[in-house]
Amino acid sequence: MNSVVTIIAQRLALGLLTLLIVSIVIFAAVNMLPGDFAELILGQGATPEAVTAIRSDLGLDQPPVARYFTWLGGVMQGDLGNSFAQANFANFAGADVNSGLTSVADQIRPRFANTMFLALVTAAIAVPLSLTLGVLAALFRNSLFDRIANVGTLTSISSPEFFLAYVLILFLAVLNPWLPSLSNIYDGMGFGERLQRTLLPALTLTLVVTAHMMRMTRAAIINLLASPYIEMARLKGLSPMRVILRHALPNALAPIINVVALNLAYLITGVVVVEVVFVYPGIGQLFVDSVKIRDIPVVQACCLIFAAAYILLNLTADILSILSNPRLRHPK
């Protein structure tokens, strides 16, 4: 048991180190974006004095290293900074611009909740569907069903997200108006209506992530079907479905857990295109809007949340794989 705790502690330490390195990359990349927030707000007729005044009030005139450590220190205390976009620049000359700023956390909180809702709805559809298709494809290997499932899932994962989104809009919102094409949800909306307006982007993401999980489930089960204990179970007269569900699937959990966790991470970090297409008010849409106006604190916070979610889910997959596999629990 001590070895398991040691391995988990090492994974957590590696995750924190990775997140620190990613934060440096995020800060450097965001600050390399072309354009200047002060010039964008004031327009082409801005005077150098006005631009300098706003940059000074927002702290943009400080050296990059100083700004990074200021930002990192705030993040470690739970402070993501203030959004530039909500500031009142009407009387910027001699005024305290920071008095009109709003918290980045206040902007991100409802958007992140919307993205998590979309991810949970997608996972509730995609995970059971993928496992079912993977088990059936392994059970009926090389059959017509197996070939159709493989061709269908590979086609969906090979298609761009925006293309799948527009195809679903065409068939499910235009030709057959069953679902709304725009996911304009808001606070206070009932669960049923929220779910209805989330289904179309959720179905788009389901088509994207199902193939990987389904094929990994199929491959993991097929690899185990040649094992001696599977042959013994067959010799005892157990049905093929019982052999797969009771004997093969539990021992194939480690690779399946990994691929499910990776795809769940994608549902949080890879929703930008889908949210933009459906105008879904999630963190991906907020990220795109903030990049357009060079709202640096919001862009940095969104990127850091994406990275943290991806690293956390990968760590969760590693830990669950260790706990579900005796060979990983006792590497010697």
Domain boundaries, the chain: 2-100, 105-292
pLDDT computed for residue 315 by the predictor: 85
The pairing of beta strand 82-83 with beta strand 102-103: antiparallel
Ranges of H-type helices in the chain: 2-31, 37-42, 48-58, 64-76, 104-139, 144-158, 161-169, 191-224, 228-235, 240-243, 249-251, 253-269, 272-277, 283-292, 296-324, 326-329
DSSP summary character for residue 95: S
Distance CA 143, CA 13 (A): 46
The structure tokens 């060079």 sit at 294
Beta carbons of 180 and 197 less than 8 angstroms apart = yes
pLDDT computed for residue 59 by the predictor: 74
Show pLDDT as tens, one digit a residue, over the chain (332 residues): 567 778 778 888 888 899 999 999 998 888 887 766 666 666 666 677 777 777 777 777 788 888 888 888 888 888 888 887 755 554 444 445 555 567 888 889 899 999 999 999 999 999 899 888 888 888 888 888 888 988 888 888 888 888 988 999 999 988 888 888 888 888 778 888 889 999 999 999 998 888 888 888 888 888 877 778 777 877 777 777 787 777 777 777 777 888 888 888 888 877 888 988 998 998 988 898 888 877 888 888 999 999 898 888 888 877 777 776 666 555 55
Two tokens at 312?
């956390």
Q: Which CATH superfamily hosts domain 105-292?
A: MetI-like (1.10.3720.10)
Q: Which residue type is seen at 272?
A: V
pLDDT computed for residue 40 by the predictor: 67
Two tokens at 301?
């916070």
pLDDT computed for residue 90 by the predictor: 46
Ranges of H-type helices in 59-183: 64-76, 104-139, 144-158, 161-169
Two tokens at 64?
């990059």
- 176-204 b/e with 16+ CB inside 10 Å = b? eeebbbebebeeeeeeeebebbbbbbbbb
Q: How far does Cα 251 stand from its chain's mean position?
A: 28
Two tokens at 72?
């990192």
pLDDT computed for residue 320 by the predictor: 77
Task: Give the chain's end-to-end CA distance (angstroms, integer).
Answer: 13
